[in-house]
């Protein structure tokens, strides 16, 4: 059966945190989601299959040093493969490579013979398509993950603090070469520290990155109202917030 085409793909999954209010760090690159984004299939041993394998190899080779790479393989529009690999801004080259390689292997299994697909892990994301998508905000392939627990009181205050932190990070992201920013703030009403992360794919301009993130943060009330942790993840950008450090530099 052919993979279904993603339209505006937004749904909530339950993300169990290591500790509801603890200081644990997520240390492995957990699988988050995948989407088969094309109605069209290619055939095994075809030119498209060869180009896809070359694109995967190029991304696995070029992404780890800087955390990002894009590839376009093939001159024929019918068989050209466009792909990108993006690793979280703090991830080491070795972990980045492992994540990208795992992603290529998983996509071959999860979206067999699909001309377009995307996959996300904690450490990286991988996307490819027959269509040229570089520099364009991907609003079609998006999903949310939320913590199973909600705050028990002062929900409005908590939501405002989350929005405030993420909005601050969005404003700072343009000043970073990786389009990646982390930050934190104290929530006095809860006597807890709130941690946040925002990141864009580096094929986007700074203006497009901020637009992508602002739109994602604008979905907070729908996805994450009162939740002690959550994220919106898409093909072009993502954000996350938690009541524990998300990356090592926040410890």
Q: Does position 126 have pLDDT exceeding 80, yes or no?
A: yes
Q: If pLDDT is split at 50, 70 and 90, which confidence band does 250 have?
A: confident
Per DSSP bridges, beta strands 142-147 and 81-87 are unpaired
Per-residue pLDDT at 81: 99
Per-residue pLDDT at 9: 34
Domain at 148-250: CATH code: 3.30.430.20
Please write the tens of the pLDDT for every residue from 75-92. Answer: 999 999 999 999 999 999
Q: If pLDDT is split at 50, 70 and 90, which confidence band does 16 have?
A: very low
Residues of CATH 3.30.430.20 domain(s) within the chain?
12-142, 148-250
Please write the tens of the pLDDT for every residue from 22-35. Answer: 333 334 689 999 99
Any idea which residue has 């905000």 for tokens?
137
As a whole number of angstroms, the distance between CA 126 and CA 179 comes to 17
As a whole number of angstroms, the distance between CA 188 and CA 149 comes to 20
As a whole number of angstroms, the distance between CA 137 and CA 201 comes to 9
Domain at 12-142: CATH code: 3.30.430.20
Per-residue pLDDT at 251: 72
Please write the tens of the pLDDT for every residue from 95-108. Answer: 999 999 999 999 99
Q: Does position 42 have pLDDT exceeding 60, yes or no?
A: yes
Instruction: Supply φ then ψ for residue 238, to 5 degrees.
Output: -160, 155
Record the pTM: 0.88
Q: Does position 112 have pLDDT exceeding 70, yes or no?
A: yes
Per-residue pLDDT at 90: 97
DSSP SS3 for 91: coil
């Amino acid at each position: 059966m052919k993979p279904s085409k993603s339209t505006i793909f937004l749904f909530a999954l339950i993300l169990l945190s290591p500790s509801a209010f603890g200081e644990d760090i997520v240390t492995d690159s957990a699988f988050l989601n995948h989407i088969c984004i094309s109605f069209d299939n290619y055939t095994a041993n075809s030119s498209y299959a060869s180009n896809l394998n070359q694109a995967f190899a190029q991304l696995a080779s070029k992404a780890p040093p800087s955390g990002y790479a894009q590839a376009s393989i093939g001159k024929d529009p019918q068989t050209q493969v466009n792909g990108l690999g993006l690793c979280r801004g703090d991830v080491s080259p070795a972990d980045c490579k492992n994540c990208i390689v795992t992603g290529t292997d998983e996509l071959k299994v999860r979206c067999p013979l699909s001309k377009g697909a995307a996959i996300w892990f904690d450490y990286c994301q991988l996307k490819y398509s027959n269509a040229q998508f570089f520099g364009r905000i991907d609003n079609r392939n998006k999903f949310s993950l939320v913590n199973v627990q909600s705050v028990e009181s002062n929900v409005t205050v908590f939501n405002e603090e989350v929005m405030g932190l993420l909005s601050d990070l969005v404003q700072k992201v343009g000043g970073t070469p990786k389009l990646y920013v982390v930050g934190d703030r104290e929530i006095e009403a809860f006597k807890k520290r709130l941690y946040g992360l925002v990141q864009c794919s580096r094929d986007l301009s700074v203006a497009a990155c901020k637009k992508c993130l602002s739109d994602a943060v604008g979905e907070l009330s729908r996805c994450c109202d009162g939740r002690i942790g959550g994220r919106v993840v898409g093909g072009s950008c993502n954000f996350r917030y938690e009541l524990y450090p998300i990356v090592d530099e926040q410890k």
